[in-house]
A and B are shown apart, each in its own frame.
Chain A
Amino acid sequence: MTPDDLSLICRIVRARAGYVIDQAKAAMIENRLGPLVRREGFNSLSDLVTAIKTKRDERLVWALADAMLPKDTAFFRDRTPFSQFRDVILPDLEQRLGTQPLRIWSAGCATGEEAYSLALALDEARAGRGGRAIEIVGSDLSDRCIERAAAGIFSQMEVQKGLPIRYLVRHFDRQDEAWHLSASIRQKVQWSRVNLISEISTVGQFDVIFCRYVLGGFDDLMRKQVLSQLAGALNDNGYLIVGRDEAVLDQAVGLSPVWGSSDVYRRDPALRIVA
């Protein structure tokens, strides 16, 4: 692959998804795009890039951007954010919202493990038993990820990385080497394709947003823009949970850290949001 090809790939990913890819990581780029090359029937990555240059095929351009984005996720990843959600955030919101509906967004959810973890945690906490409507939205830029998430089918390795065995026994069924999530949990999550660097107001307002291990891929300017959008999508006193080491304090206008934490923020109605 030529430096020009690498440069084009990085420019496409940045323009479409806002993600900064280091052009020097040629091996990583080739590794991530290998499956796309094979799926699309090209002989090499150079052939794929040539096709993009000559045909200007939008579908192929988006497929390349999609393939380049990291998709690491796991059920109950890091555990603590989910226990904080169940034990602290949920009781606080239930008290404050009264009978109003509770809306939760897993933004940049990849294959859906995070959104389903929230659904499982809510089910275990028996949230909504008083008749309160609870809506969970899982979104990602990738159509392929959203399709996989909606299917709710996971490999043996995927259900073992963070999913407590009691959830597997209660809510999954094993079929043909894969684990199928029950319809009752799947139906608790709505799925949507959302590009966080574009207009996100279509997904509405939320009381809790999980946006974890997504912000780290943006440059500072884009991160601030996305954070402003996420803050704008939060109801007053709503919570934003980001990934470890994705501290946003100096960049998130309108967000205040909660409990001295570097990964839980609250939309502060007293702070003006500047987009």
Chain B
Amino acid sequence: MKTCLVVDDSVAIRKVARMILENLGFHVTEASDGHEAIAWCRASMPDAILLDWNMPLMSGIDFLRQLRAEPQGGAPKVLFCTVENDLFHINEALKAGADEYIMKPFDGDVISAKFAEVGLI
């Protein structure tokens, strides 16, 4: 079973994302900020990371830069999932190593299409 780490400071968003991803066949773990997410990744690198941008303690973009510098940190497919919906932020995310980009609000079709795009379903 493929694994996905959902990183978002909103409990509601994590709950919705978990429901959609579990329906797509993923084993889901959750983190509420970048520090917690790095700890999860060091313990067990997931196949995919669904990543919010604006979070306390460590933002999504800072997490991504740190992740890509970790041993095996290039492996997970990282999909940003954020309210930042302009080309500046999208380009920043891609430069930092994101594989796909989801603009909130999202639904199951969007998540499914984006995970298919990165080859995980």
Contacts and interface: CB of A to CB of B under 8 A. Distances in A.
A79 interface: yes
Nearest to A172: B87
A162 B86 contact: no
Given A156-B85, A160-B103, A169 B109 contact: no
B87 A161 contact: no
Interface stretch (B9-17, B35-43, B69-77, B112-120): B112-120
Given A165-B100, A165-B101, A160 B90 contact: no
A160 B106 contact: yes
Contact of A174 (B85, B107, B110, B116): B85
Most buried by B among A74, A79, A164: A164
B102 A160 contact: yes
B94 interface: yes
B91 interface: yes
B106 to A, nearest CB: 7
Contact of B87 (A74, A160, A169): A169
B113 A161 contact: yes
Contact of A164 (B87, B107, B110, B117): B117
A160 B114 CA distance: 8
B56 to A, nearest CB: 26
B100 A174 contact: no
A156 B113 contact: no
A168 B90 contact: yes
A165 B90 contact: yes
A157 interface: yes
Contacts, number: 36
Interface residues of A, number: 14
B103 A74 contact: no
B65 to A, nearest CB: 18
B106 A174 contact: no
A169 B91 contact: yes
Contact of B113 (A162, A168, A174): A162
Interface in B49-75: none
A5 B100 CA distance: 48
Contacts of A166: 94
A60 to B, nearest CB: 33
B110 A157 contact: yes
Contacts of A164: 100, 117
Contacts of A160: 102-103, 106, 110, 113-114
Nearest to B110: A160
Contacts of B102: 160
A55 to B, nearest CB: 40
B107 to A, nearest CB: 8
B116 A79 contact: yes
Contacts of A168: 90, 101
Interface in A29-62: none
A226 B66 CA distance: 56
Interface in A150-197: 156-157, 160-162, 164-166, 168-169, 173-174
Contacts of B91: 169
Nearest to B107: A157
B116 A161 contact: no
Nearest to A166: B94
B102 to A, nearest CB: 6
Given A160-B102, A165-B94, A165-B117, 4 more contacts: A160-B103, A160-B110, A160-B113, A162-B117
Cβ-closest 10 pairs across A and B? A160-B110, A165-B101, A162-B113, A161-B113, A164-B117, A165-B100, A156-B103, A161-B109, A169-B90, A174-B86
